[in-house]
Amino acid sequence: MNKLIKNACIMTMDADNTIIENGYIGIEAGLITYVSADFPATFMPHMIIDAKEKIVMPGLVNAHTHTPMILLRNYADDLPLQQWLFDKIFPMEDKLTAEDAYWACQLSMMEMLKSGVTCFSDMYFYMEEVAKAVNKAGMRSNLSRGLQCFNDDFDVMTDERLLENEQLFKDWHGEANGRIKVSVGPHALYTCVPEYLKASVELAKRLETGIHIHVSETQKERDECIEKYGKTPVKHLADLGVFEVNTLAAHCVHVSDEDLDILKQHHVNVVYNPGSNLKLGSGIAPVTKMIERGINVALATDGAASNNNLNMFEEIHLAALISKGVLEDPTAITAEKALQMATLNGAKALGNDRETGSIKVGMKADLIIVSKKSPHFYPRNDITANLVYATQASDVETVLVEGQILMDKGDFKTIDTEEVLYHIDKISKRLFEVS
């Protein structure tokens, strides 16, 4: 169905950050076919969306999350990462079923759509169910099976997790008109022995896909890695060949200048998770230094068990503020840079920047429409600053992926809200043994 968006304030997020006032966007077969301040005289739309008093911008990319973990939201809080993960989260995860993951992913997608997310990168288990949920909901996603192995006596031919990741790739990579991609997901260096990390990279190379991994999230991880292997986590992973494929490195909080040079040299994509890092008391990633070096920095919420929400506008806000405070420099991360992290940089990190992340002719129509009617949009000076410092997730009115409307004025078009909430209630009663 051809659509025409009219009267829009268009944040193109192109290289010049061009903003078109009272503009038009034509959408045909899921692609943007027209962008201009002028009315398209020859375009024949089946549907017209009036974006008067509204901003149209590229959909946000949540570059690192664990959607099924939404079931563990508010279950274990105010604990350091290692204690949170090993004592609380891992034991509870043993109770989860494949069906739980299917419903939980849908709940996560509902929350993400409400804050303008069109694409996310997910790492967990029961990913076949997650893929089914993504396919049905119409979002764009990069999925990886979280891989762990604590001893060396695994057999690469029979290792259940590696086989599952490979099967996920065979079943889903490039499916749903290319909306779903699959990477390999070794969880972290402290949950994967070196030989297993090597096996993960070999798998990624064989499948010609990327790696999604947690890197240098805490001081403890860094100290233990140096003690055990005589080098930093970044150097350890580089020496094991992990960065030889396109890598999504979540966190990179505790990194030296030398580590940053290695990340830059290998074109590693860093995913900044300010909310999760703050909540787990993990520290603050040196994002300004990364950007200065030309490292691609994307933005993410992490899972809802460590954030505890999936609101990307909150992450944009945090990303812009934190570095200013820490460095006592208001120019450390500009509003424009923060917005780029959540759009273009995220698309680039997932290898999607030729298709999404900015608004121009030929790109996929992954767009969000943000209302400017609330009091916090007045006076109307700098729209970029407003989106970063004042906009709320609740200002997001409409979300389109490949031209299909997935959410409009709070209504989900591809997800049955009542059905999802019914199942989430049922699952949480079972998990937490509430009668």
Shortest reach from residue 328's CB to Zn ion, in Å:
29
- Token digits for 145? 């099976």
CA nearest to 89, candidates 104, 74, 109: 74
Cβ neighbors of 205 (< 8 A, separation 6 or more) are 244, 245
- Token digits for 57? 């911008």
Closer residue to Zn ion in complex, CB, 100/302: 302
Asked if 28 is part of the footprint of Zn ion (rule: CB under 5 A), the reply reads: no
CA nearest to 59, candidates 130, 4, 2, 109: 109
Tell me the window of 113-121, 241-249, 297-305, 399-407 that interacts with Zn ion (CB under 5 A): 297-305
Binds Zn ion by CB under 5 A, chosen from 122, 302, 353, 397: 302
> What is the distance between the terminal CA atoms of the chain, rounded to a whole angstrom?
47
Asked if 221 is part of the footprint of Zn ion (rule: CB under 5 A), the reply reads: no
Closer residue to Zn ion in complex, CB, 302/397: 302
Closer residue to Zn ion in complex, CB, 128/302: 302
Closer residue to Zn ion in complex, CB, 4/248: 248
Tell me the window of 168-176, 191-199, 299-307, 330-338 that interacts with Zn ion (CB under 5 A): 299-307
Helices 160-172 and 127-137 pack at an angle, to 10 degrees, of 20
> Could you tell me if 206 and 244 are in contact, meaning their C-beta atoms sit under 8 angstroms apart?
no
Whole-number Å distance between alpha carbons of 388 and 383: 9
Asked if 159 is part of the footprint of Zn ion (rule: CB under 5 A), the reply reads: no
Closer residue to Zn ion in complex, CB, 144/358: 144
Cβ neighbors of 358 (< 8 A, separation 6 or more) are 12, 13, 14, 58, 343, 344, 347
Size of site (CB under 5 A) for Zn ion: 1
Per CB under 5 A, contacts with Zn ion among 325-354 are none
Asked if 397 is part of the footprint of Zn ion (rule: CB under 5 A), the reply reads: no
Closer residue to Zn ion in complex, CB, 77/419: 77
Asked if 217 is part of the footprint of Zn ion (rule: CB under 5 A), the reply reads: no
Asked if 129 is part of the footprint of Zn ion (rule: CB under 5 A), the reply reads: no
Please give the residue ranges that form the binding site for Zn ion (CB under 5 A): 302
